[in-house]
Amino acid sequence: MNSWKEDIIKALNQIGGEGHYNDIYSAVEDIRGINNLPKSWKAIVRGSIETYSSDSEKYDKKNDLFYSVDGIGKGIWGLNSYQSDKVNVDLTEDDIEFPEGKKKLRQHILRETNPKLIRLAKQNFIAKYSKLYCEICGFDFNEKYGEIGNNFIEGHHIKAVSELKLNEKTKVSDIVMVCSNCHRMLHRKRPWISKNDLKKLIQKV
């Protein structure tokens, strides 16, 4: 039988990378089988999550596997290594234009779909500007689309994959907030564009 840690990772992968304790419990229950659960298994699940989360005081300071969504008390947890389905989606014709090539594009998108990283980047941006908007063209999804656009923005990683050392951690400061249109254009741009040059992308008419 897998360790609790492994089963919780599996559970979070199954429920889309994030979920409330109740969602995690039911996924773990499916994975382990209802007859294989000790009496206090839910406490074990909670304990394991906190042991492997740097957001918790119980963190073992070694394996940072889980993150707390909206603060510990909320009981919602996410998996740091979760890879969104987006990465498996077939690339479109335009993606062939990606300056670093197709394989690197996958790595790039992987970085940009790290939910914890994007959440932090969004939080920092909101703390600074009190709303989300595209750093290139100023587009504000909430302003344009109303409620469904609320809190929507994409994160673009400004460092080229080839610039990053192996296992180099992605920094929140390397993520810029962009609308979907500008994001696509950025991915087509050669050579790779720096943060300061972002706005120059827009053609002056």
How far is Cα 54 from Cα 156, in angstroms, rounded to an integer? Answer: 25
Among 137, 160, 172, 185, the residue binding Zn ion under the rule CB under 5 A is 137
Question: What crossing angle do the helices spanning 41-51 and 4-14 adopt, rounded to 10°?
Answer: 90
Among 132, 179, 193, 198, the residue binding Zn ion under the rule CB under 5 A is 179
Task: Tell me the two tokens of residue 32.
Answer: 């382990």
**Strand-by-strand arrangement of the 66-69 sheet:** 18-20, 76-79, 66-69
Are the C-beta atoms of residues 187 and 157 closer than 8 Å to each other? no
Residue 139 found at the interface with Zn ion (CB under 5 A) = yes
Among 156, 158, 175, 176, the residue binding Zn ion under the rule CB under 5 A is 156
**Measured from the CB of residue 18, what is the shortest distance to Zn ion in angstroms?**
21
How far is Cα 58 from Cα 48, in angstroms, rounded to an integer? Answer: 9
Segment near Zn ion (CB under 5 A); pick from 41-49, 99-107, 116-124, 152-160 = 152-160
Task: Tell me the two tokens of residue 36.
Answer: 């294989």
Between 11 and 134, CB nearer to Zn ion: 134
Between 8 and 136, CB nearer to Zn ion: 136
According to CB under 5 A, which residues from 5 to 24 bind Zn ion? none
Are the C-beta atoms of residues 52 and 64 closer than 8 Å to each other? yes
Between 43 and 201, CB nearer to Zn ion: 201
Report the interface residues with Zn ion, using CB under 5 A: 134, 136-137, 139, 156, 179, 182
